[in-house]
Amino acid sequence: MSRPRYRYRIYILTLIILVGCGVLLTQLYDFQINRQDEFRAQVPTNYEVHVREPGVRGEITDRNGVVLAKNNRNYQLIFNLKEIHQDFLQHFWEQHKGDKEAQPPGIVDIINNWVRPKLAQQGIDAKYSANALEAHYKTHGGLVPYVFRDDLSYDQFAHFAEHNLELPGVYVTVNPRRIYPFGALASHSLGYLKQWEKGDVPPDFKHYTGDPKGISGVEATMDQYMRGNEGIRTILKNEKGKNLRVVDYVKPSQGSEVQLTLDARIQYLTETVLRRAGRAAAVVMDPRNGEVLAMASVPDFNPNDFIPNISAKRYAFYRENKSAPFLNRAISNFPPGSTFKIPAAIAGSIHDLHGMHCNCVGFTPYGKAKIRCWKTWGHGVLDLEEAIQRSCNPYFMKIANTIGTQKMVDTYQMLGLGQASGIRLPKESEGIVPGSAQWRRDNRNKSMTPALTGMLSIGQGDSEATPLQMAAVVSAVANGGKLYQPRIVRKVSHPDLGIQISNKPKLKANLIQQGLAPNHLESIRKGMFLAANKVGGTARRAAPDEVEIGAKTGTAQTSDLGIKTHVAWTVAFAPYDNPRYVVAVAVKRGGSGGKVAGPLVKLILTGLFAQEAGDTLPLKKQTPYVGNTDLIEEISLPDDNPLAAAFMADGETGDEASSIVIIHPEPEEPEELPQPTIRAEIDSRGSVIPRAIPIQE
């Protein structure tokens, strides 16, 4: 019985061995034959890494080639952190030979105790972010240099270039940096940059230096053109991560140059004049093609403050300014007041009311309510030209109620009101035309009554427009009926690709083809001429000496920061017979259009024609203007101005409709800004100081 049992055990053991060998052979076949390529790929070998470098940003110039944004040579002190680390370890182990328990310090301590004392001896030490440096080393090693200082003077750069042999891994280099040579000049039009962040790194790169991007003004809208092509350095590394050689290098290239329609000297003139007001906007336009020669908004800011990043203190100073310095008021909504009588006159002329007369008795009744004329005892019988000259409310309300709401709205929208103009600037407001489809969607509980239709014609109630929109409308009146799209970008050209955006005016509408007879248009122009040049005209303070112009004032009732006040307007074209300039000015908390905005228009036009006469307008670096919220009853002209003592009508007050209209307080100007890169305060050891910083200027 024992032998069979013994043999049975041998059979079982043999079977187990055979099955085990079969499984093993099957696995060996799978590993060595079927999955051979998979395991070969995991064997350590040489590999390539790609290091990305930013392109060179293109410049921004004015129409005459004056550079408004460029790239200066920026002298930097950079660290190759891996080289510094290796140099330190070499010295460390020489000092600790045989000491197996010695522990070398981390990269931050190496920088603080090994590198910075030597930098201090040469006078170029600085505060820095220790966390940023440590994260940079863990991510990039020695492939991407760490920028320790980017504000070296040329003398510091030259000195260190001769003495850097004492500090392996510490170098000086030159990189382009954005600069705005004229400071705050045209800051709202130019905009500013934001530095790249970790979230901007695409998945294709582990070692990446990004481009600053425009987040405001033309820097934002033209960002895709101005960014130069990236550079890529391809480095071969062995299985231990050691650099072997550079196998390929594509140099970064220059981005496109953006030429603006702005004239830097006219811009400086306009901004300087506008600083007589606390918060205001002005647009100077060429009516022959829609080019914006100047666009000013006060208060303003210095875009250089954002390069390479803005300090927390400076950013808080801007943000806490109640006058909202980042808001571009030239493309923001204002209640337009009597400047809306110009499109009302166009609407009436298109719809056969050109020859209409109106007996102004000082008010227009709407049921039990009355909307007054600014001249409370009335103007008497007026035609269209006189109604524009004297800015008579009942005349234009009669036009509006005669042709009806829809025809009024259609004409206003045909003139580009109630919609963005399409200028290449971000955050352009559309304005508001009461009775339009958009207005009805936003005001479902409101209907357009005869009173509200009459209010539309005089720019009161819910009506809103931007200074840029009004400049475009007045340009169409000035040039014979051609409504051009406003332009601030004139041309974009690339050094290799050539012209990318050409200098071509864009005609949006021809008023003559829309039914406005040329002689009717001339009557509107004549009314604006009378307003600026004849006794009784509301815009006489806008007319410069020895130049005939056409103009229209406006005084819109509104509420600002909880105070009932006005927006003062004047729009003008000049010279009358051959218009080359249109000027639109709007001033917050202005007493009246004639007394506040009119003198500003006059000063701008005086400068423009002085330039035509051969005088050179100044052009200087502009410091930021803080602005204010003061009430401005009048802006006085110099004593030697002959218009200062002349008799003139004060014009509309803006309060004529207060008896039936509820004035809704306007909110503070919105500032929905992209968050810029804010520079934190750093202590001497490289740590961020966790405290609030008092705002001082």
Domain ranges of the chain: 49-260, 264-300+328-612
* CA 219 to each of CA 14, 180, 197, 454, 507: distance values in angstroms, whole numbers, following the listed order: 82, 12, 18, 42, 26
- Report which secondary-structure segment, H or E, holds 126: none
For residue 694, what pLDDT is reported? 29
Mark 228-244 as b/e (b = at least 16 C-beta within 10 Å).
Answer: bebbbbebeeeeeeeee
Three-state SS for 596? helix
For residue 609, what pLDDT is reported? 92
On whether the CB atoms of residues 227 and 252 are closer than 8 A, the answer is: no
**The token pair that represents 586 in the structure block:** 């709007």
> Which stretches in the chain have pLDDT values below 50?
1, 641-650, 662, 664, 667-668, 670-671, 682, 687-697
**The token pair that represents 485 in the structure block:** 């799209």
For residue 179, what pLDDT is reported? 93
For residue 506, what pLDDT is reported? 95
Backbone angles phi and psi of 566, in degrees to 5: -135, 160
What span, in angstroms and rounded, lies between the C-alpha atoms of 182 and 572?
Answer: 28
- Who contacts 139 (Cβ-Cβ below 8 Å, separation ≥6)? 206, 207
Q: Do domains 49-260 and 264-300+328-612 have the same CATH topology?
A: no
What span, in angstroms and rounded, lies between the C-alpha atoms of 554 and 222?
Answer: 35
On whether the CB atoms of residues 475 and 571 are closer than 8 A, the answer is: no
CATH of 49-260, one of 3.40.50.720, 2.60.40.420, 3.90.1310.10, 3.10.620.30: 3.90.1310.10
Phi-psi region of 586 (alpha: psi -120 to 50; beta: other; left: phi over 0): beta
Kindly state the DSSP code that residue 34 receives in the 8-state scheme: I
Strands of 561-640, DSSP E: 563-574, 581-588
Residue type, 122: Q
CATH of 264-300+328-612, one of 2.60.40.2550, 3.30.300.30, 1.10.3720.10, 3.40.710.10: 3.40.710.10
- Who contacts 595 (Cβ-Cβ below 8 Å, separation ≥6)? 541, 568, 633, 634, 635, 650, 651
What span, in angstroms and rounded, lies between the C-alpha atoms of 342 and 463?
Answer: 14
